[in-house]
Structure 1
Amino acid sequence: MLLQIGKVVSFMLSLLSLHALMLNAFFIPGTSLQERLTQSLGSLALAGCMCFASGLLFCMPVSPHTKGEAAHQVNLPHLMETLPVRLFFWAIGLMVVLLLLSWYLEAYYVPLMWRNQPH
């Protein structure tokens, strides 16, 4: 019972750390791409630690509830196959794509928009 509550709490903490990473990577107004990247490295480390710690909890077997019940072998997932770790890698991949897209748009399309403004 306590392990299952720990899994839920650790999963929620990993979601919150990924949310903080996204906020640091995209929603700091008035900063350049290099400043946003350096500021989000700490959040990236925190999110990675939280997701991998949650993944370790997801790898732990759940003990049977009654003493007479036989402990049958359950195929436990590998650490890289758990939901928090997969979510971490998917989120990092998506954020890298979005950062590259924002850099491209900032470098090539934003100057064109400012040049065509009425005076």
Structure 2
Amino acid sequence: MEELWNKLQTEYRIGTISKNDAIIFKKWGKALKLLSENPRHPSLKTHDIEVLSERYGERVWQSYLENKTSGAMRIYWVYGPDKKSITIIGLEPHPEDKKNGAYERITLSDLPLMKKDES
């Protein structure tokens, strides 16, 4: 995900980004800002995705980049690897049909190695 973010950022800065990628980049940037301030910000509509949490063995959260558009983009993330940090593990269109295993077709980045609580 970091590689994709850096690519979009570079293309945006030098003016070679496509119109569609520029829209996603701006929405992703806004979502990151909101996530850093408050992962439960109302416009993000953050919620955990049980199917993905079970598959990855870590609670996986989904937040909105957009809503009420065809193929509305979602950002997937986990807490960690440190306290007070999150790691983005996916940027995908919302699966249209939750009933037919739509979340099972989503592939996310590898999870970061979580630091053990040293308390």
Higher relative contact order (CA 8 A, sep 6+): 1
Normalising to structure 1: TM-score of the pair? 0.29
- Structure (1 or 2) with the greater helix fraction: 1
Q: Which structure: larger Rg?
A: 1
- Structure (1 or 2) with the greater strand fraction: 2
Normalising to structure 2: TM-score of the pair? 0.29
